[in-house]
Structure formats: C-alpha cells, structure tokens
Amino acid sequence: MERENFGNRFGVLVAMAGSAIGLGNLWRFPYLVGSYGGAAFVFVYIFCVLLCLPIFMSEVVVGRRSHANAYGAFKVLAPGTRWKWLGAVSVVTPIIVVSYYSVVGGWSVEYFFKAATLEFTSGATQAGMSTMFGRFISSVWSPIIGHTIFLLLTAGIIIAGVKSGIEKFGKIMMPLLFVLIIFIAVRAATLPGAGEGLRYLFKPDFSKIDASVCAAALGQAFFSLSLGVGTILTYGSYVSKNENIIASSTWTATADFLFALLASCAIMPAVFAFGLNPQEGPGLVFETLPFIFANMPLGWLVAILFFLALIVAALTSSISLYEVGVAYLVEEKGLSRRGASVLVFAIAWILGILCSLSFGPLADFHILGQTVFNLFDKVSANVLMPVGGLLLVIFVGWVMKKHDVIDEMTNGGTLSGNRRTSQVIYFLIRYICPLAVVAVFLTALIF
Ligand code: PHE
C-alpha cells in the first residue's frame, strides 16, 4: 500500500512542533515553574531538554528506518523478538493519553466560549473564578460536551489524512499560535509590576534545585517533546528520505522550549502584577488567568486569544496522539483510515467520559488510590512515557546496528555536515541518555 509522506521540510517541522507544543507548554509548564521555584526549574529543564533531544532523534530514526507504524516498526527492525511488546505499549499509551488530553481540550473549548461571551467580567474575584471552575468540571454534561467537540475536531483532521489534514492544519495554525502567544506575552510584560514576574522566571535561585525538581523537569521534558508514546516514531515514518533528521529534531525541540518560555512570559508577569500566588498548581490557567483577564485592560481580547491558542495548541498535539492508533489499525489490521478513526474515537470517547466524570459523580471511584483522570495522567506521564523512552533509546543504542543509525542521521553519508555530530549523538544515545534517565528516576525514588 502507498504510504503518505509529509510534503516538505516546513511540513515536517510544523507537524513535529505541533505535536510537541500543546497543553504541556501552555498549561503544564507554567504551573510547574510556579510550583518548583521559578528560574531554577527553567534552568534544570534546559538540561533535561538537551538530554531528551537524542531520544527524540532516536524515535525519528526508528520511524523513518522502518517506514512503519509504532507496532510494525519493531517487527521490521527486530523481527521475531519481544521488542514488538514495546510497540504494542506504544500503540496503547497514546490512546490513553488522548482520552484525558481531550478532556482538558474540552475545558479549553468551554473557556473559549466563556471568554467569547464575555463571561469573565470586571470585578470578578479569584475565589469566584475558582468556584466557577470547580462547578464546571464537576458537572456532568458541559465537560462531556466539550470533550466530544474536541475529539470530533481531532478526528476530522485525522480523517483528512497526513498531508491534507495534519500537515495543512499545522502549516496554518502553528505560525498563528506563535503570533498569538507573542501578542499576549507583550501585553502581560507591559503591565505595571510585571518586572517581578520576569525576574522570577529568569533569575535562578540555585538553592531551590533538589531531586523532586529534577524529576519533575525530566518528566515535563518527556511530556512536552511527546516522547516515549510512539508519536514521534509515527511522524518519523512520514519523513522523507532526504530530510535532515538531526536538524529537524533540533529545530522542533528549540521551538518547543521557546514556546514554553513565551507561555510563561505571558502568565507569570501577570500573576505577579496582580500579587497572586504562582504556586497555584494545575488551576493556574483556568482559575487564576480568567481572574487576571477580567481585571486587566484589554483583558477580554487577551482572554479570547489565549483560549483560542490553547485549543489550537492542544489540537495539533491530540492529532499526533490519535494518529498512532490509526496508523496501527490501517497498516496492521487492514482497516480503512475512516474506519480506524471511528474506532479510535469510540475508545477515546468512552475513556474520556470516565476521566471527565471522575471530577464529579465518579470522584469516589478509585483505582490504586487514584481517580480515573489522575490515574491516566500519572501512569502515562510518570511511568509509561519515561519507560517507553528509555526502552526506545536502548533499542536504538544497543539493538539496532550502529551503521544503520548513523546511516539514518547522515542520509547514507550524503549529509557530510552531520558525520561528526552523528557520532557524538550515537554515543549519547548508547551511554549517556539511558544512564541519565535511570539516574534521575532512582534519585527521585530514593530522596
Ligand atoms: N507534547 C504534548 C504537549 O506538550 C503532549 C503530547 C505528549 C503529545 C505525548 C503527544 C505525545 O502538550
């Protein structure tokens, strides 16, 4: 069967950056920065991104070399071995992630409508905004409707295909996203009293760095770069043979990091300008920000743009999660693209409903002491993603032939500029990355 490829270099970049840049940057990163001490966290995070970059390249290498979906890739590259189990996990995990991701995507849809109908009005209090959020997520229908709309949008883009769905959507939306976030960051940074927030972001207090900061930063780097769940592998399989893997991976990671910083510049200065607590946690975007928007000049416009940006960023990531299952079902099970999309929709929709209800009627239903939403979130971000990433990098460093890996990174030796770099990257993949990932997790466990 003829497989689709991304059309050109820009297409590859927007698709990969689209996957990487998402709720992780706009929602997760800023609240982690707030909870883990500001610039010190940012500083550790930079190291973690550098550590994750070779892992990102490894995923692209496996995808492009095998030219197959996340499960098929291991059958092609290591036939008859147990590595196909890693492939199986890589197909199941993104479906779990997309189901709870879509619930938060649904919250963004709801908040976009709230912003567009000017519900965040002046005079709102922070307590009022927290109550509004609490009431909303614990209700039954509204969040499920949001989740359904969001998942339908995702499915629509997926059905349109790799080139005319994923790539085209990214090409229009990713530049728009950068424009939106720059506009919001400039607005926030020019609020009176914003300087304090910028100092908080850029002037590290190194005494704040401890094992928990390192573990959180590494987990966030995995999450933000979409690693360990077969996503980058699947996108890698759509990258054409003359593409420069080292360059496009580096560009993606850079864009992802810059976007996370920009998002923090849009949020932290405003938090400080209003004398609020940066350690708000996951509620930062949905409770603190609407309060700020309600009380700042031009806030209504910024609110609409911010929640629009949140939806767009979340969509380009959720399509990358969704595509993993679709590619698997089409190539391994012979389903049509449309049929596969419907099947993934059905599974993710039902699981997502359980996640959504776990803030309301199912709040007391616990598995391993966690609500369904928290279980999905914790197990995937803290266990499945890092373990998946670790196994993948071991696969590339120790199971694949060195010659094949270097061959992928230099396009059969034709990219002479990559010859030296690829040797260094191979060394990192084989020794440094696995050891460092294990070390960080052991430290986090022990301390
Ligand atoms: N990287 C995405 C974000 O930051 C989330 C994601 C994780 C997407 C894993 C795909 C795979 O929001």
Q: What is the mean pLDDT of each run of 10 residues along the chain (447 residues)?
A: 83 94 94 93 95 97 97 97 95 95 96 94 83 95 98 96 91 91 90 92 92 88 95 96 96 97 92 89 85 88 92 96 97 97 98 97 93 90 88 97 97 95 98 93 74
Lookup: tokens for 444:
């986090």
**Is 29 near ligand 1, meaning CB less than 6 Å away?**
no
Nearest CA to ligand 1 atom 7: 226
pLDDT score of 212: 86
pLDDT score of 365: 95
Helix (H) or strand (E) holding 158: helix 141-160
Cα-based torsion angle of the residue sequence 436, 442, 444, 447 in order, rounded to the nearest 10 degrees: -130
Any bridge partners for residue 370, and if so which?
A: 367
Place of tokens 């496996």: 62
Rounded to whole angstroms, what are the CA distances from 329 to 95, 219, 325, 339, 366?
12, 29, 6, 9, 31
CA of 313, closest atom in ligand 1: 12
How many Å lie between the centroid of ligand 1 and the Cα of residue 21? 7
pLDDT score of 1: 56
Write down the H helix ranges in 190-298.
Answer: 195-202, 211-224, 231-236, 245-273, 288-295
d(CA 334, CA 357): 34
- List of residues 6+ apart from 144 with CB closer than 8 A: 106, 353, 356, 357
Q: How many whole angstroms from its chain centre is CA 332?
A: 26
**Is 20 near ligand 1, meaning CB less than 6 Å away?**
yes
Any bridge partners for residue 367, and if so which?
A: 370
- Residue of 59, 91, 154, 320 best suited for mutating to test ligand 1, as the one with most atoms within 8 Å of CB: 320
257 three-class SS: helix
Cα-based torsion angle of the residue sequence 349, 353, 356, 357 in order, rounded to the nearest 10 degrees: 180
Helix (H) or strand (E) holding 149: helix 141-160
d(CA 22, CA 411): 30
369 three-class SS: coil
What pTM, to 2 d.p., does this model score? 0.94
Whether the CB-CB separation of 93 and 388 falls below 8 Å is answered with yes
- The single-letter code of the amino acid at 73 is A
pLDDT score of 211: 87
Rounded to whole angstroms, what are the CA distances from 5 to 161, 164, 237, 427?
10, 11, 8, 29
d(CA 55, CA 283): 31
**Is 23 near ligand 1, meaning CB less than 6 Å away?**
yes
Q: Measuring CA to CA, which residue among 392, 446, 347, 369 is closest to residue 100?
A: 347
Strand ranges, E, within 57-117: none
Q: Burial-class residue 149 by CB neighbours within 10 Å (0-12, 13-18, 19+).
A: middle
Rounded to whole angstroms, what are the CA distances from 65 to 82, 164, 171, 266, 331?
19, 24, 25, 40, 16
Phi-psi region of 139 (alpha: psi -120 to 50; beta: other; left: phi over 0): beta
- Residue of 224, 316, 384 best suited for mutating to test ligand 1, as the one with most atoms within 8 Å of CB: 224
d(CA 22, CA 181): 12
- List of residues 6+ apart from 169 with CB closer than 8 A: 18, 157, 315, 316, 319
d(CA 101, CA 375): 13
How many Å lie between the centroid of ligand 1 and the Cα of residue 303? 23
pLDDT score of 283: 80
